[in-house]
Amino acid sequence: MDKKIYKNRRESLINHLPINCALIVPGADLQYRNSDAAYNLRQESSFYYFSGFCEPSSLMVFVNNGKTIDSIIFVPPKDKLKEIWDGYRAGPIGAVEDYLFDQAFENNKIDELIPELLQGIEKVFYPIGKKEGFDQKVIDWTCAANSKDRYMHSIDIIDGSSLVGNMRLIKDDHEIEIMKHACNISAESYIEVMKAITPEDNEQSVEALFLYEFAKRGGRFPAYNPIIAGGENACVLHYIENNQDLNSSDLLLVDAGCEFEMYASDITRTFPVGGKFSKEQLAIYNIVLKANKAASDAVKTGNSIMEPQLISEKVITEGLLELGILSGDLDSLHSEGAFKNFYMHKIGHWLGLDVHDVGDYMEDGEYMKFKPGMITTIEPGIYISSSMDVEEKWKGIGIRIEDDILVTKSGNINLTAKVPSDPSEIEALMA
């Protein structure tokens, strides 16, 4: 990949950094499964966004001292023995030559050099509370910087999450193409699994099928722990046990998406294990599908991000009222939040390098308006557990339908529309 993309992002970030301020962005450290067996490193998302650098225990510092603006990176030192075991390291020279940073140092110099870099700085921005132990590190560095000059004013520490997150919120063309590919991998995988599944499968075997189909197409890792929830398990919103048998009469809710080149996809479909919806399942399903389509249509430049939420609430309230699951006046039921017993979560979230991506939802004290380049999920649902006070025929039905929606100048693009959501198409696919 062209490393100039990351350099351009750094330059754009620096342009938003006030004079006499610094921004610190830590990378990820290796995490160990047991003994000396480490998990695969997954670089911290913001660090990757501005660097493209995937070595552990690295750190970026951006300094605007009023005279120069520098992008500085601290990286693991070159080590021939380590490289034999773990692979190539760029080292400081490689970080400058290959990743186009202004300066680079070995990461064993962090505690020595950062206080020097903060000399004369008035404010330090960094993502507060996001990395264990890092808050104290920043405090120590600012105290060390202050101690070097008794006449120096104290350095204010400010949360830089919004500064970084709102840049990531608007996807550039390069990111959009990657995310389209991630969504396509996941969509094709859904189709193959839906065609292959039988009542003899269990939740675990379905999960294995998804992971196989993702990896076969280039999405080696899931973007999050897949939810493979048969029957009433679908009423547990973040069910991840994925270890129960399936019944041919049940619905199967699958919330799964691959990660491709660090970017997430996120899809949910609910389909009948035996290939045919029952009358009651179909009735609930059609309400959720109507909510999904209506909410997706509202994802447009200039619309409030709350509009899809309100639309989905009203559609679901009306549908439950028509089925007799709710009773009363539609407007009163909606204003009272009667739907929350059945639809208790928000309509969606930002999507990008993180499955629940960064970026604010409020702007100037109001809900943000959709802008071109944003990508949001739209995922209404209805969940009726066996403990709820409803007719027996509705119990044990949990349905969610989720798509990934790209905001454009003229409307939106459903990046996951390839996966059937129409019930007749699902039944035909599974026949």
Which candidate in 149, 153, 238, 361 is catalytic? Answer: 238
Which candidate in 255, 307, 313, 357 is catalytic? Answer: 255
383 catalytic, yes or no? yes
174 catalytic, yes or no? no
Which candidate in 70, 280, 297, 349 is catalytic? Answer: 349
Cα separation, 401 vs 284, whole angstroms: 12
Helix axes 173-196, 203-216, angle to 10 degrees: 140
Which candidate in 207, 307, 318, 379 is catalytic? Answer: 379
44 catalytic, yes or no? no
- CA torsion sign, 9 to 86 to 182 to 362? negative
Which candidate in 135, 345, 367, 427 is catalytic? Answer: 345
Write the DSSP symbol of residue 257.
-
Cα separation, 218 vs 118, whole angstroms: 43
Q: How far apart are the first and last CA of the chain?
A: 42
Which candidate in 356, 360, 363, 425 is catalytic? Answer: 356
Which candidate in 203, 232, 266, 307 is catalytic? Answer: 266
Q: What are the structure tokens assigned to 20, written together? A: 């006499």
Which candidate in 126, 201, 383, 403 is catalytic? Answer: 383
379 catalytic, yes or no? yes
354 catalytic, yes or no? no
Residue 272 phi/psi, 5-degree rounding, is -80, 130
- 8 Å CB contact between 318 and 333: no
**AA letter at 191:** I
Which candidate in 36, 173, 364, 366 is catalytic? Answer: 36
255 catalytic, yes or no? yes
345 catalytic, yes or no? yes
349 catalytic, yes or no? yes
Strands 123-126 and 156-159: parallel
Residue 273 phi/psi, 5-degree rounding, is -60, -40
36 catalytic, yes or no? yes
Which of the residues are catalytic? 36, 238, 255, 266, 345, 349, 356, 379, 383, 400, 402
